Amino acid sequence: MTETGAQPTTTTGEEMHSLVERLYPLCRSITGDGVRATLDIVGEYIPLRVHEVPTGTQVLDWTVPQEWNIRDAYIADSTGHRIVDFAASSLHVLGYSVPMSATMPLAELRAHLHTLPDHPSWVPYRTSYYKPEWGFCLAQDTLDAMPDGDYEVRVDSTLADGHLTYAEHVVPGQVADEVIVSCHVCHPSLANDNLAGIAVAAFLARALAAQKPWYTYRFIFAPGTIGAITWLARNAERVERVRHGLVLACAGDPGPLTYKQSRRGDAEIDQVMRHVLTASERPHRVTEFTPYGYDERQYCSPGFDLGVGSLTRTPYAGYPEYHTSADNLDFVSPEAMADTLAVCREAFAVLDRNRRYVNLSPYGEPQLGRRGLYDSLGGRSDAQQAQMAMLWVLSLSDGEHSLLDVAERSGLAFDTVAAASDALHGAGLIKA
């Protein structure tokens, strides 16, 4: 099993869950004040650089849309009682609903109502970002209890020129090469799909900042699809420095971890994640890339072809609660988020130490004893493994094999191989 030093504690998991609780009531969308309020709260945990991109800005093949904000929305019966109330849950309104104020019969209203007949007590999450529309989401049980008659319908919203908002946090590394960690901030009250990933990303950034990492880590908090596309359009020169990446989502549900590989399938992050998940002996799945899901599909698009995978617990649309009111605070746990965070830390610890070396004494086996390398192993319980690790590193240090390649071929723990490379490098026998 890979060892990475301090691991997230139960307290860390509870702190992440508390952050999810604070973010949960906010009404987020691909633009608007809900995104800004979300980033304000995340900014209390890690410093953020917030970017505002005006409506109408061309971003690759897309255009930044108008900004949507909402203050109130409801369906009320003839007595004024609010049967459906946005104040009770941000899921109750179709995302990006245009302003509406009218009284209409139930027969006419039904065309604008969205339910889940298979889960009659749950409220669905629905949006209409790029087609002017209005609507409400409600439980099928609520709809079934509504008698025929007239209902007051009101959506107090604005759809006007404004901005798309996203934010970045950078953990400086020893080199300028970057690892990006991306999560989406556009969903309303959905605890797992959105908020758990945001919380894990924030606490991962804090953990990395305390470690002086090798790579520079750039955390991107952006609306799904249009946000990632906007970041890519505005960072064409920086993209050349991105060596690895990970998209975080669905980070807090009770399911086992799932890693979705990059489009290339052989990127270093793919090898690292496969190794870490297997070595940890956690229940997990590794899946092939598909051009649908989260923003890995933007970073992996052919023109960029970045080595970016996706880490979730239960994947996109893989659990009944997905995009419903049942994806609530009870659905995510501190333990699951702490476990997701631990895997990220383990993976980035391997990524940061993974190097390719060249053997500076490649003709025959160099004499390790006269360099004090065998003596340094005296008293170690793993002395035999450490010795074998040195021999394996020397054997495969041809500039083509990484330390992770050595670990997988030898069957030795990555940390043992990395420690052996440090000793050999210190003795002048290998160079990066």
Mean pLDDT, range 369-381, rounded to an integer: 69
Q: Which residue has the higher pLDDT, 383 or 342?
A: 342
What CA–CA distance (Å, rounded) separates 265 from 267?
A: 6
Q: What are 328's two structure tokens?
A: 């609530």
pLDDT at 372: 84
Domains in the chain with CATH codes:
10-65+163-352 (3.40.630.10), 68-160 (3.50.30.90), 356-431 (1.10.10.10)
pLDDT at 317: 93
Angle between helices 33-42 and 10-23 (to 10 degrees): 160
Q: Which residue has the higher pLDDT, 9 or 306?
A: 306
pLDDT at residue 381 tops 90: no
DSSP letters, 287-329, are E---S-SSTHHHHTSTTT---EEEEESS-TT-STTTTBTTSST
Q: Using alpha carbons, select from 135, 134, 132, 154 the residue that is nearest to residue 143.
A: 135
Which residues, including other chains, have CB under 8 Å from residue 125's CB and lie 6 or more apart?
91, 95, 137, 187, 188, 190, 323, 324, 325
pLDDT tens column, 279-299: 999 999 999 999 999 999 999
Beta strands 284-287 and 257-260, pairing class: parallel
Count of other CB atoms within 10 angstroms of residue 432: 10
* pLDDT range class, residue 234, cuts 50, 70, 90: very high
What CA–CA distance (Å, rounded) separates 86 from 219?
A: 32
pLDDT at 380: 57
What CA–CA distance (Å, rounded) separates 240 from 250?
A: 28
pLDDT at 120: 98
Burial (CB < 10 A; 0-12, 13-18, 19+), residue 413, is middle
pLDDT at 383: 75
| Average pLDDT of every residue of the chain | 95
CA 211 to chain centre: 21
pLDDT at 379: 53
Q: Answer yes or no: is 323 a known binding residue.
A: yes
Mean pLDDT, range 133-144, rounded to an integer: 98
Q: Answer yes or no: is 193 a known binding residue.
A: yes
pLDDT at residue 2 tops 50: no
pLDDT at 373: 86
pLDDT at 60: 98
pLDDT at 318: 95
pTM, 2 dp: 0.94
CA 160 to chain centre: 30
Q: Answer yes or no: is 81 a known binding residue.
A: no
Is the distance from CB of 56 to CB of 250 less than 8 angstroms? Answer: no
Which residues, including other chains, have CB under 8 Å from residue 129's CB and lie 6 or more apart?
29, 30, 65, 95, 96
CA angle 235, 241, 243 (to 5 degrees): 120
pLDDT at 69: 98
Mean pLDDT, range 214-227, rounded to an integer: 98
Mean pLDDT, range 144-173, rounded to an integer: 98
- How far, in Å, are 125, 251, 315, 324 from residue 319 at the CA level? 14, 13, 8, 10
What CA–CA distance (Å, rounded) separates 222 from 303?
A: 20
Question: Cα-flanking dihedrals φ and ψ of residue 338, to 5°?
Answer: -65, -35
pLDDT tens column, 22-70: 999 999 999 999 999 999 999 999 999 999 999 999 999 999 999 999 9
* pLDDT range class, residue 183, cuts 50, 70, 90: very high
